[in-house]
Amino acid sequence: MEQRSLTLSPPELSEDALGFFRWGRVAGHVLVTNDAGDWARLSEAEFADLLAGRIADGHPRFAELQGKGFLRDGLDLDALAARMAQRNRHLRRGPYVHVVTLTVRGNARGANGRALDGLDMTPETAAQVAEFVLQSTSPAVTVEFQGHTGEPLRNFDVLRHFVEVARTHNQRSTGKTLRLRVLSNFTALTEEIAEWLIANEVLVTTSLDGPAALHDWNRTWKEGSAHADVVRWLDYFQRRYAELGRDPAQWHVEALLTTTRRTLDAAREVVEEYATRGLQTLGLRPLDRARFDRDTWAAIGYTIEEYLEFYRRTIDHILEANRRGIVLAERTASIILTKMLTSDDPGAVDFQSPHGAGTGQIAYNVDGRIFPSDEARIVDAMGESFFELGHVRSLSIQDIVRHPTVRAIAAASLLDAQPMCADCWNKPFCGFSPVRNFITQGDLFGQRPHCVECKEHLAISTRLVELLTDDSDATRQETLKRWTAGSVHTPTDGRAFPESP
């Protein structure tokens, strides 16, 4: 074997001149980031100057790097602390996303509208959950009636009871901003129910997997309405919101996409379908391998590398649609861009450190048992009760956020303390779910080299930095600024990745 020698010399380092930062190489440059979410792209020569303490007053990068806290010279520690506090304000807020499972009935079984023992939430439990949700210290709470385990509109009487109890209790005592959202595949929707949802200000999210051929192919393994029915109801809600003069920025139907192997070849078609339907957000996420048996995965699955290639192409198609004046953004990119381009936290629990399970999000099973997240409730449904926190009858919100299991989740997802994450330039823009680690690796902490979220988030952040720093297209940078969560409505108000109904 041929032997080669390589001479390495340590960089010139002036530690006393430096603020705290992490760094990495992106697209031929060096990216430095800090815990306030500030970042700067440097050339290799500029990075060498930074490390050596040669960036001083008069240097072309001095003002920027000083203002962002990368230099010790003139460091405004109070301003840096204020930016970090703003970015982490969710830690003081209290649970703000409450995911309620109203039924575990499949679409084809059971009598529509009639409660079935053990499969549907009862009116008594619904009232207890509604009052429990309003115990949160958060001034705004979102209740999401999830739709992937069972269609919530098949237990519509209890949904209606929940909404009435929550609204009455909130008006009488707590006075919070209360948002309600139902995730429905529209299989149980009637015009009467639709009008009730509109009149009672319950927002609607559904599944739309792309054009008819793709959407309907997915229905061969996944329950839900055919493409024509989804589109008909989409149009119905959009028309009625317009007739009632509702603000389209808030009042529009959101859709969730399930990405299968067939989707990977249809990036452009999916973008055009969402644009045609007037949808403002397209949420991409890879399928979770752990949720499927071998045969199903063989038919619909793919590698994370294949998914990321699809993601990259889809982003390009959305940006191309934006150039034609179409308002559309990708959800994961919106969350990360909000972290990169604003001083705020977008509130997506999957991108928080520590992860927001139990502290930002709580999930309620049909029987009133409480879990730190809907994903944790799914683990219980798979036969593992590791994450069960107790019953709504016997717990308070304070019990939840102080629960040993919630504290264990927080400890396991604090990126500052995780191998690789602690040193990664993407740390201020990233997060991972310990519950997902538990599912995929059998360990709350997980090992980063085996973490799909790590690969996904790093690849997306890298691509976004490439796009933001590409000086050849200034309009694209302006477009991406409009993708930030402040401009684009985030459909789930805290859940980055709800399951498609």
Partner 1 sequence: MSERITFDRSLYLPEAVEAAAAAYTDHARIELTPGADAVVAVISDVLEHDPRLVAHAFCNHALHETIARRRQAAVDEAG
How would DSSP label each residue in 225-286? --HHHHHHHHHHHHHHHHHTT--TTTSS-EEE----GGGGG-HHHHHHHHHHTT--EE----
Q: Say whether residue 249 binds partner 1 (CB under 8 A).
A: no
> For residues 227 and 211, is the Cβ–Cβ distance under 8 A?
yes
Nearest CB to partner 1, comparing residues 175 and 419? 419
> Which window, 26-34, 139-147, 223-231, 443-451, contacts partner 1 (CB under 8 A)?
443-451
Binding-site member from 274, 302, 311, 445 for partner 1 (CB under 8 A): 445
Cβ-proximal residues to 66 (8 Å cutoff; 6+ apart), any chain? 73, 74, 75
Residues 418-437 that bind partner 1 (CB under 8 A): 418-420
CB of 450 to partner 1, least distance (A): 10
Cβ-proximal residues to 391 (8 Å cutoff; 6+ apart), any chain? 367, 368, 369, 370
Nearest CB to partner 1, comparing residues 134 and 412? 412
> For residues 35 and 84, is the Cβ–Cβ distance under 8 A?
yes
CB of 447 to partner 1, least distance (A): 5
Nearest CB to partner 1, comparing residues 222 and 369? 369
Question: Distance between terminal CA atoms of the chain?
Answer: 57
Largest CA distance in the chain: 80
Nearest CB to partner 1, comparing residues 45 and 420? 420
Show the binding pattern over residues 380-399: x = contacts partner 1 (CB under 8 A), - = does not.
-----xx-------------
Nearest CB to partner 1, comparing residues 45 and 411? 411
Determine how many CB atoms are found less than 10 A away from the CB of residue 308.
18
Distance separating alpha carbons of residues 97 and 347, to the nearest angstrom:
10
Nearest CB to partner 1, comparing residues 288 and 388? 388
> For residues 182 and 197, is the Cβ–Cβ distance under 8 A?
yes
CB of 433 to partner 1, least distance (A): 14
Nearest CB to partner 1, comparing residues 28 and 449? 449
> Which window, 84-92, 108-116, 333-341, 412-420, contacts partner 1 (CB under 8 A)?
412-420
Task: Write down the H helix ranges in 362-451.
Answer: 374-381, 397-401, 404-413, 434-441
Q: Please state whether 181 falls in left (phi above 0), alpha (psi between -120 and 50) or beta.
A: beta
Site size with partner 1, rule: CB under 8 A: 15
Residues 79-138 that bind partner 1 (CB under 8 A): none
CB of 421 to partner 1, least distance (A): 10
Binding-site member from 97, 284, 412, 464 for partner 1 (CB under 8 A): 412
CB of 395 to partner 1, least distance (A): 14
Binding-site member from 10, 404, 471, 472 for partner 1 (CB under 8 A): 404
Determine how many CB atoms are found less than 10 A away from the CB of residue 300.
20
> Which window, 151-159, 236-244, 304-312, 400-408, contacts partner 1 (CB under 8 A)?
400-408
Token duo for residue 114: 């009639």
CB of 117 to partner 1, least distance (A): 25
Cβ-proximal residues to 428 (8 Å cutoff; 6+ apart), any chain? 33, 34, 35, 36, 37, 39, 87, 339
> Which window, 169-177, 188-196, 405-413, 424-432, contacts partner 1 (CB under 8 A)?
405-413
Nearest CB to partner 1, comparing residues 132 and 445? 445
> Which window, 5-13, 175-183, 444-452, 469-477, contacts partner 1 (CB under 8 A)?
444-452
Q: Say whether residue 411 binds partner 1 (CB under 8 A).
A: yes
Angle at 374 between CA 372 and CA 379, to 5 degrees: 90
CB of 444 to partner 1, least distance (A): 5
Token duo for residue 311: 């993601």
Angle at 488 between CA 486 and CA 491, to 5 degrees: 105
Distance separating alpha carbons of residues 114 and 129, to the nearest angstrom:
20
Nearest CB to partner 1, comparing residues 290 and 411? 411
| CA 232 and chain centroid, separation | 27
In degrees and rounded to multiples of 5, residue 278 shows phi and psi of: 75, 20
Nearest CB to partner 1, comparing residues 71 and 406? 406
> Which window, 132-140, 240-248, 370-378, 416-424, contacts partner 1 (CB under 8 A)?
416-424
Nearest CB to partner 1, comparing residues 76 and 443? 443
Q: Say whether residue 443 binds partner 1 (CB under 8 A).
A: yes
Token duo for residue 142: 């979102």
Binding site for partner 1 (CB under 8 A): 385-386, 404-405, 408, 411-412, 418-420, 443-445, 447, 449
